[in-house]
Amino acid sequence: QGVPKPFTEVIKANIGDAHAMGQKPITFLRQVTALCLCPELLTQPSIPEDAKDRARRLLAACGGQSAGSYSASPGIELVRRDVARFLQRRDGVPAEPQDIFLATGASDAIVSILKLLVSGEGPSRTGVLVPVPQYPLYSAALAELSAVQLDYYLDEERCWALDLAELRRALAEGRRHCCPRVLCIINPGNPTGQVQSRQCIEDVIKFAFEEKLFLMADEVYQDNIYAEGLAFHSFKKVLFEMGPPYSEEVELASFHSVSKGFMGECGFRSGFVEVVNMDPEVQQELTKLVSVRLCPPVPGQILLDAVVDPPQPGDPSYELFM
């Protein structure tokens, strides 16, 4: 309307959509995906052999050797094995393909886990502790599932640090009117950008253990660590390094995605959840739950495989990939 403003431009910071903001796609990821979607490209001499080998391997794992077929509901078995190997390299802790569920982005996996955990009526209704500020997926999903959202506030004065006393306050308050069962952690933070220290993660795990809370660790920004002296520690790695009783009893679901970091492939809608220490009968129910939506998009699963198993030194694509 021509009203003067004290600024000259607007920076859109509402969602982490890297490619929409001009980030360029990674050649290897797109080549593998393109080869699987259009196998006649396998004859093209311009495409490196390692990308072709990867595409052949993935197509062989698809029904009818086609990316147009359904996969198993938790995802292509081959891709789940590659994700398990990726997690093992990252954490130095064993990972099992049967504990990994591929999904339509991390968002879909988060909603599936929340569906699994929400139950009860009135005072027995599931309460879920979520950080504030938070990624609005949580408040929206909890409203949709009629769960009880229990806010805990991050400390802005300390770079949005997580404060244990604040967690205890939110839990005690929640117990007055619902049954808190779940603690959601976003690390690195979204939208706050903080990176949790190892000590903080240990404290949170001890808190979850003492209060019998299911831990949900949203770790989709793990490739976006820029500040000097900071490092990403996965909840699973810290949990296992703490040893028993924590490593044997704390129930954890951790999430990752191809939408963020150097990949930025939001539109492919691909991610996964790994569950740790989940009761086998409950895990069977999770398998049933994800089977309702048949399977995650197969092109997204293919791209995820290229992300978790990138070109290695000596491969034709390695130099360009790096």
The per-residue pLDDT for 21 is: 87
**How remote is the C-alpha of 180 from its chain's centroid?**
22
Alpha-carbon distance of 118 to 89, in angstroms, equals 33
Alpha-carbon distance of 322 to 319, in angstroms, equals 5
- Low-confidence stretches of the chain (pLDDT < 70) are 13-14
The per-residue pLDDT for 284 is: 96
The per-residue pLDDT for 135 is: 85
The per-residue pLDDT for 14 is: 65
The per-residue pLDDT for 15 is: 79
The per-residue pLDDT for 109 is: 96
Q: What angle do CA 123, 128, 134 make, to 5 degrees?
A: 145
Residues 257-309: pLDDT tens digits? 999 999 999 999 999 999 999 999 999 999 999 999 999 999 999 999 999 99
The per-residue pLDDT for 11 is: 77
Alpha-carbon distance of 284 to 276, in angstroms, equals 14
Alpha-carbon distance of 10 to 183, in angstroms, equals 35
The per-residue pLDDT for 10 is: 84
Alpha-carbon distance of 304 to 165, in angstroms, equals 38
The per-residue pLDDT for 283 is: 96
- Structural domains in the chain? 77-308 (3.40.640.10)
**How remote is the C-alpha of 317 from its chain's centroid?**
26
Does pTM surpass 0.85?
Answer: yes
The per-residue pLDDT for 201 is: 96
Q: Are 128 and 142 in contact, with CB atoms under 8 Å apart?
A: yes
Q: In 10 A of CB 230, how many CB atoms? A: 12
Structure tokens at 131: 């950080």
